[in-house]
Amino acid sequence: MAAEQGSFTASDGCTIAYTLHRPSGPAAPRLALIHSLALDRSIWDGVVERLSPRAEIVTYDCRGHGRSGRPHMPYTAELFARDLAQLFIHLDWRDATVAGCSMGGCVAQAFAGLHKSRVRALALIDTSAWYGPEAPKQFRERAAAAKAKGMQGLIDFQIARWFSEKFTTANPAVVDRFIKVFLANDFECYAATCALLGDADLRHYLPSFRMPVAVLVGEEDYAAPVTMANALHAAIPQSTLKIIAGGRHLTPIQCPDEIAGEIAGLMERAA
């Protein structure tokens, strides 16, 4: 399996950095993976390792994150979905299975709503279509806390949301790796992405989904809890729902076997 590092320039001039993983065998199904708030494409490394022999996979850094451009501007799920559509054009991909975790799940819903013909199947992981009436205030308060304390001041809060205590104790090097990614954020981009999540209401897209959809959620996820996954499942008639035992908010990192297995099953449904 070959991993190609690349980038392209979106229509508004923002650079989007990506990694394309090509299997060495015959033509394979395509899979696009979208990461969570304040992290980067590396959240998918364990999933990619398990799926790359059987799929052509693109992971990328959303604008404002990782090695992509960091423009200071308002962000929306639809803007991030446009970036993904332009990435597909850059790669000459007609369609793919699309999977997103947390923020990435919001982007995936917007992408599927706006570009239905490009989505063979959809995996919505540890995410929601709407974080509730208090979300605009709550997400902006989180950004204000980061400004007051620095990103370092949010670390304990983030780790407790991301991973179970058992995982954190057993995998200190993994936890430290993602702390470093989190601390490398640009504050203005972080604040703009918090506002994106607080303002996102993607519920109007859901009834139009006709592709196979898998809703996945960690049993212990309290950032996007099981009640939100249930709401997604109820709103998308042909969806399946899987609650991952012991998982918290970042199941692609904590539970890569389960997530890879569920995505593999979803790609089979799409085929």
Segments in the chain below pLDDT 70: 1
pLDDT score, position 23? 87
For residues 85 and 22, what is the distance between their CA atoms, to the nearest angstrom?
19
SS3 content of the chain, % helix, strand, coil (to 5): 50, 20, 30
| Cβ-based neighbours of 110, under 8 Å, separated by 6 or more | 76, 77, 78, 80, 81, 202, 205
pLDDT score, position 243? 98
pLDDT score, position 197? 98
Q: In what order do the strands lie in the sheet with 15-22?
A: 2-9, 15-22, 56-60, 30-34, 96-101, 119-125, 213-218, 239-244
Q: What is the pLDDT of residues 188-231, one digit of tens each?
A: 999 999 999 999 999 999 999 999 999 999 999 999 999 999 99
Range of the domain at 34: 2-270
pLDDT score, position 1? 59
Find the helix or strand (DSSP H, E) in which 196 lies. Answer: helix 187-199
CATH number at residue 47: 3.40.50.1820
Domain total in the chain:
1
Q: Which residue type sits at 19?
A: T
